Structure 1
Amino acid sequence: MEYFESLAIEIGPVKSALLATIFTWLLTALGASLVFFFKTIKRSVFDTMLGFTGGVMIAASFWSLLAPSIKNSEALYPDYPWIPAAIGFLMGGLFIFGLDKLMPHLHINFKKEESEGVRTEWHKSTLLLLAITLHNIPEGLAVGILFGAAAHGIEGASFSAAIALAIGIGVQNFPEGLAVAMPLRRQGVSRRNSFWYGQLSAIVEPIAGVVGAIAVIHMQEILPYALSFAAGAMIFVVVEEVIPETQRDKYTDLAVLGFMGGFTLMMILDVALG
């Protein structure tokens, strides 16, 4: 970890954010590549993996984003350090809420007629891809913003913490890639195209990561708001998308255990490495 931290310091926050989010993208592609070996996956495994994804995102939202936001605000607002965190958190949720209402998409375990956003006749595979893409925007932003915060020496935000966040998001991206590719394969899409769509769902992460890092580097005063903004965006995705997808079959208990496992892993990564 010390090597990667020194490397991040040497190459700077923007390049670090780009490399970190490329890493998360590659793990998505690795998960999607399983479609070359399997055509189906047990629903119990699928729901457990989705629960794991939600746990990682919830833990990252607090330890990696909200806590540093509040800590950074203590100097700016000694009597009300929660103000930037509260405002940014709500704005992040409203941002994804707006995208959710505008962007046509379909959650993984839902039927075509249950698609959300602007009504369209787009194919189900396209709607599935857009749903996961929407999911990945706040993840990329979170990594980029945390690297930017580390560059400013914000208390509670370090390059080690940013790397830990990238590792956690990368780990939970593995089942995400599979979650896109496998349903497409079941619908009769070729293995090659299923893999292509699966990995493509995370292409937005490097873009969002670089945008987040650049924004906070050039506008240091928005740092506490930006950190909590990413947290709010991720919480909205988990509550509106990830958790409901795990509750549509009989494996809800396994999904909860997966959630707890993901939460615990991210907590350990952030506290031990950050």
Structure 2
Amino acid sequence: MEWFSGLDPALQALIAGSFTWGITALGAALVFFSRSMDRRLLDAMLGFAAGVMIAASVWSLLLPAIELSRERGGNGWLPAVVGFLLGGAALRLGDRWLPHLHPGLSMDRAEGIRTQWQRATLLVMAITLHNIPEGLAIGVAFGAADSGMASASMTGAIALAVGIGLQNFPEGVAVALPLRGEGVGRFRSFWYGQLSAVVEPVAAVLGAAAVVFVRPILPYSLAFAAGAMIYVVVEELIPESQQHGNDDLATLGTMGGFAVMMLLDVSLG
């Protein structure tokens, strides 16, 4: 831990983002062993991912944003509310304009501007849209830890990275296995599955660099990442996990994911 704590926050964010990318690749690697996954299990895993993201948004991002603002003598709620709404608005714009297709849907339900992109590309773009706020969240958490403020800790940032890594596994599965089930080759399915998370290390470094060089925006940055992640959960993860008749199982998965992330953040942070 000491060697890691001594690194530049941008490098810490890069390592953490690479870890979450690796977990996504691990999920995508299931295509080498199977063409499909039991829908009940996948819906439970997607629900788990939603629970992790909700808890991370609250304990790792919104509450530290409020505390940081108060430590600086500011209004605790203002940066949290403004940043949260801006994060949701940014994802709404991306959802509106970026061509993408959520897993399990037919091509006629693709969102964003109309293109001639193939199904695999649209699936990757959908999960990539998820992963941008996750990478930013990791980056701003490590940037906050470097600020030296009491409300932001290195162990809390690491807990956030671990939690996001856990929920990235089903995201890799959700891209790769449907492609494999449609007859796409193993290596190509794996490639598209892991490709969706390549953006996380990049977004993590950008997030860390932004808050290190412009520290007054740190509370807004934390809340922005939270708003973006909550948008993804409500718009995509929860509906996707409950559209196949496994509502109760997906809900229990969400409760479990929330509890696990809360445990990680409170015990380590």
Per the normalisation by structure 2, the TM-score is: 0.98
Return the offset for 1:76.
3.7
Aligned residue in 1 for 2:67: 71
Return the offset for 1:232.
0.2
Does residue 224 (structure 1) correspond to residue 219 (structure 2)? The answer is yes
Select the residue among 257, 260, 269 that pairs with 2:255. Answer: 260
Is the 1:168–1:266 Cα contact (8 Å) retained in structure 2? yes
Aligned residue in 2 for 1:134: 129
Aligned residue in 1 for 2:104: 109
Aligned residues: 269
1-structure distance, mates of 2:153, 2:8: 12
Return the offset for 1:120.
1.5
Aligned residue in 1 for 2:21: 25
2-structure distance, mates of 1:194, 1:229: 32
Aligned residue in 1 for 2:50: 54
How do 1:121-200 residues align onto structure 2 when only pairs under 5 Å count?
121-200=116-195
Return the offset for 1:177.
0.7
1-structure distance, mates of 2:73, 2:93: 29
Give the fraction of aligned pairs with identical amino acids, expressed as a percent: 58
How do 1:196-211 residues align onto structure 2 when only pairs under 5 Å count?
196-211=191-206
2-structure distance, mates of 1:110, 1:158: 40
Structure 1 SS opposite 2:3 = helix
1-structure distance, mates of 2:250, 2:101: 20
Structure 2, unaligned stretches of length 5 or more? none
CA distances 1:116-152 after superposition (whole Å, capped 9, x unpaired):
1101221111111100000000000000000000000
Does residue 43 (structure 1) correspond to residue 39 (structure 2)? The answer is yes
CA distances 1:14-51 after superposition (whole Å, capped 9, x unpaired):
11000001000011111111110010111101111110
Is the 1:68–1:155 Cα contact (8 Å) retained in structure 2? no
2-structure distance, mates of 1:20, 1:175: 18
Structure 1, unaligned stretches of length 5 or more? none
Does residue 250 (structure 1) correspond to residue 213 (structure 2)? The answer is no
2-structure distance, mates of 1:154, 1:255: 37
Does residue 16 (structure 1) correspond to residue 12 (structure 2)? The answer is yes
Structure 1 SS opposite 2:6 = helix
Q: Which amino acid aligns with 1:117?
A: G
Q: Which amino acid aligns with 2:175?
A: V
Does residue 92 (structure 1) correspond to residue 83 (structure 2)? The answer is no
Is the 1:68–1:156 Cα contact (8 Å) retained in structure 2? yes
2-structure distance, mates of 1:75, 1:147: 18
Structure 2 SS opposite 1:157 = coil
Greater Cα shift, 210-219 or 172-181? 172-181
Structure 2 SS opposite 1:195 = helix
Return the offset for 1:77.
4.8
1-structure distance, mates of 2:71, 2:6: 28
1-structure distance, mates of 2:170, 2:151: 29
1-structure distance, mates of 2:101, 2:126: 6
Structure 1 SS opposite 2:249 = helix
Does residue 7 (structure 1) correspond to residue 3 (structure 2)? The answer is yes
2-structure distance, mates of 1:137, 1:157: 21
